[in-house]
Structure 1
Amino acid sequence: MGTVIRHSFVDTNGIRMHVTDAGGGYPLVLLHGFPELWYSWRKQIYALADAGFRVVAPDLRGYGGTDAPEEASAYVMSELVEDLQGLFDALGFDTAGVVGHDWGGALAWQFALRHPERTARVASLGSPLMPPGPVPPTAMLRDHFGLTDATFYMRRFLDPGVAEAELSADVRATFQKMLRPARHAQDLWTFATVGGDGSSLLGKIGPGDSLLSKVDLETYVRIYKRTGFRGGLNWYRAVDVSWEQEREQPMPKLEMPAMLIVAEKDPILRPELGASMKTFVPELRVETLADCSHWMQQERPAEVNALLLDFFGDLRDPELE
């Protein structure tokens, strides 16, 4: 019998979280990004479970089948970390390997920093660990990319209702235009720069290949038509408050084995953003996927799976391999 993905709900940190769970053995917890779902890891779940891991991929706070509090203040990083801590408790995990992509990568780093005793190893796809800077992240990143408030997607996201309306107007087109391979990486930059002139997140993106099969696309569309995009957008709306909290604490060294996988053609989480990480993550391993864009676990699943198995492989119980 092949690997079966099990679905359940757990209560954690005051919310009800939808969780998928496959395989048996040492646990790996996979954390998705924006605008995604547990389903974003579908090409990893089977490979990792078949290799002898118990693979857990939740819908994070605000997404899919998990509760989505209305207020943006409910999405500060300290709350998201405690969601994950409660998930570990509910599933009986003393420790686990933690893997994240995009916002899930940021959460993976913060969980490892705040709960190192429960994090065996941590891997991030795209998102570097960056210490709190002198200005809020939505301003720092805008200035880093040389953009303005009007032409930087994170600043556009801050106005409640604005991005929700555009992304929800045609959910199918939203995912067709966003989740594209490296040859269409410029389309994601068009999104990130709000059309280049502040006019529209999606309006200037034309036809192009999608990373999603028909079944994949219908899965995203069905769920997002029900939930909308507000929950995921609230992660952005809380980021500057999270920064205020984080800068009150000194940046500790992350002493456990860690891996950052970057994509050569990711126009947003560019490889150079993690250039200084080894100063506070001494056991950092960095891997680069050539000719790959932002959605790397969906665009290059075989390479991602191989890297994860190489990095976490010796945590497996040999009797379950």
Structure 2
Amino acid sequence: MIAEIKSLEFPSPNIISINGIELEVFEAGKENIGNPIVLCHGFPEHAFSWRYQISALAKAGYHVIVPNQRGYGYSSCPKDVTAYDITHLTGDMVALLDYYNYKDAVFVGHDWGANVVWNLALLHPERVNKVINLALPYQERGKKPWIELMEAFFGDDFYFVHFNKHPGVADAVLENHTENFLRNLFRKNVPLAPPEPGMLMMNLAKAEKPFGESIMNDDDLSVFVKAFNNSGFNGAINWYRNLDRNWHLLADINPIIKQPTLMIYGNLDMIPKFERLQDFVPNLDVISLDCGHHIQQELPQETNQSILKWLAEFNG
């Protein structure tokens, strides 16, 4: 049974069958048929992370489509690890457009959702008319697979590496400490890191004392907690377990993104800005906001203004 969500006029979901799975999808602005914008959440999040943007975009004339991507919420959680590679994740977005009979759309991504959008623009450029990404810049495909490179730089305890080398371990820890993990993770104006070193996500799950100001109230947090109590964390973490597979899948893809693109950084985010971003994304505008990683939740009004102003430049 789908949990009821009551906050900020958040829409009720539909379960739609596409690409061999089911996706839980939230919509607003259905009267704005023909002007779609798709919002892609990150890890470990939910469509609800866009709660402050949905109404603003609908009022601005957009048909707003917000999926819980595979592995999240009440969407399908396939057991096969490779079902979460980038061809499947981007294929879901293509199938979503097909479901609504849209040739293309504006795609907006945050964190892992941004990675999906970057790669959607590479793998299916005809389906993306504009890119807006938050927090995670374009990831250059270097000479070594990403997990191999991260292990060389950061060691086995780095959570990207640990997820891959110790399957099931972090999944179980997060599922045993779901509420505490999410409460500690979603903090305002602090880097995405615990106060002590070690394996990031598991330390966050076990930390007894929260640090920094929460970006959500208890009711909002409960939406995330209920969703992960349903889905678990295995599907979401499997996105990380496909990074090296994705590196191989992208080997022969033209790495240049030609669509008009807006990149929004949080100045307090631990994810570094990509100084050569324009080399790969030549039609680029960049905005930096004074916040941490969870940009659209930490500074919703500023985020909405930045997005709507940028979009208006193309529509005016």
Give me the TM-score of the superposition, normalised by structure 1. 0.88
Aligned residue pairs total 304
Task: Compute the displacement of 1:193 (Å).
Answer: 5.4
* Structure 2 match to 1:270: 272
Q: What is the aligned counterpart of 1:58 among 61, 64, 67? A: 67
Q: Percent identity?
A: 34
Residues 270-309 of structure 1 aligned to structure 2 (within 5 Å): 270-271=272-273, 274-290=274-290, 292-309=291-308
Task: Compute the displacement of 1:263 (Å).
Answer: 0.9
Residues 176-187 of structure 1 aligned to structure 2 (within 5 Å): 176-182=183-189, 184-185=190-191
Q: 1:278 to 1:85 in 2, by over 3 A?
A: same
Give the conservation status (yes or no) of the 8 Å contact 1:166–1:201: no
Residue 98 of structure 1 aligns to a residue whose secondary structure is: strand
* Structure 1 match to 2:128: 119
Give the conservation status (yes or no) of the 8 Å contact 2:73–2:227: yes
Q: Distance in 2 between matches of 1:201 and 1:14?
A: 34
Q: 1:245 to 1:134 in 2, by over 3 A?
A: same
Task: Compute the displacement of 1:149 (Å).
Answer: 0.9
Q: Distance in 2 between matches of 1:141 and 1:309?
A: 36
Q: Distance in 1 between matches of 2:196 and 2:254?
A: 29
Task: Compute the displacement of 1:177 (Å).
Answer: 0.5
Q: Distance in 1 between matches of 2:204 and 2:9?
A: 39
Query: CA deviation digits over 1:205-258, x for unaligned, max 9?
Result: 6323211111101111112112111110000011111111112x1434222101
* Structure 2 match to 1:210: 214
Residues 55-94 of structure 1 aligned to structure 2 (within 5 Å): 55-94=64-103
Q: What is the aligned counterpart of 2:160 among 139, 154, 159? A: 154
Give the conservation status (yes or no) of the 8 Å contact 2:178–2:205: no
Q: 1:315 to 1:6 in 2, by over 3 A?
A: farther
Q: 1:20 to 1:250 in 2, by over 3 A?
A: closer
Task: Compute the displacement of 1:280 (Å).
Answer: 2.0
* Structure 1 match to 2:174: 167
Residue 254 of structure 2 aligns to a residue whose secondary structure is: coil
Q: Distance in 2 between matches of 1:315 and 1:213?
A: 36
Listed as ranges, the gaps of 5+ residues in structure 2 are 1-7
Which residue identity is paired with 1:14? G
Greater than 6 Å deviation, 4+ residue runs: none
Q: Distance in 1 between matches of 2:196 and 2:280?
A: 29
Q: 1:51 to 1:201 in 2, by over 3 A?
A: same
Task: Compute the displacement of 1:176 (Å).
Answer: 0.8
Give the conservation status (yes or no) of the 8 Å contact 1:69–1:231: yes
Q: 1:116 to 1:176 in 2, by over 3 A?
A: same
Residues 168-247 of structure 1 aligned to structure 2 (within 5 Å): 168-182=175-189, 184-185=190-191, 188-190=192-194, 194-195=198-199, 200-204=203-207, 206-208=209-211, 209-247=213-251
Q: Distance in 1 between matches of 2:214 and 2:135?
A: 20
Which residue identity is paired with 2:163? F
Q: What is the aligned counterpart of 1:33 among 33, 38, 42? A: 42
Residue 112 of structure 1 aligns to a residue whose secondary structure is: helix
Q: 1:224 to 1:3 in 2, by over 3 A?
A: closer
Q: 1:258 to 1:199 in 2, by over 3 A?
A: closer
Residue 120 of structure 2 aligns to a residue whose secondary structure is: helix
Task: Compute the displacement of 1:191 (Å).
Answer: 8.2
Which residue identity is paired with 1:308? I
Q: Distance in 1 between matches of 2:47 and 2:267?
A: 24
Q: What is the aligned counterpart of 2:261 among 258, 267, 273? A: 258
Residue 72 of structure 2 aligns to a residue whose secondary structure is: coil
Which residue identity is paired with 1:117? E
Residue 238 of structure 1 aligns to a residue whose secondary structure is: helix
Residue 87 of structure 1 aligns to a residue whose secondary structure is: helix
Residue 66 of structure 2 aligns to a residue whose secondary structure is: strand
* Structure 1 match to 2:5: none
Task: Compute the displacement of 1:140 (Å).
Answer: 2.4
Give me the TM-score of the superposition, normalised by structure 2. 0.90
Listed as ranges, the gaps of 5+ residues in structure 1 are none
Q: CA RMSD in A?
A: 2.2
Task: Compute the displacement of 1:203 (Å).
Answer: 3.3
Query: CA deviation digits over 1:119-153, x for unaligned, max 9?
Result: 1100110111123111121232444xx42112x01
Residue 257 of structure 2 aligns to a residue whose secondary structure is: coil
Residue 194 of structure 2 aligns to a residue whose secondary structure is: helix
Give the conservation status (yes or no) of the 8 Å contact 2:185–2:204: no
Residue 16 of structure 1 aligns to a residue whose secondary structure is: strand
Give the conservation status (yes or no) of the 8 Å contact 1:190–1:205: no
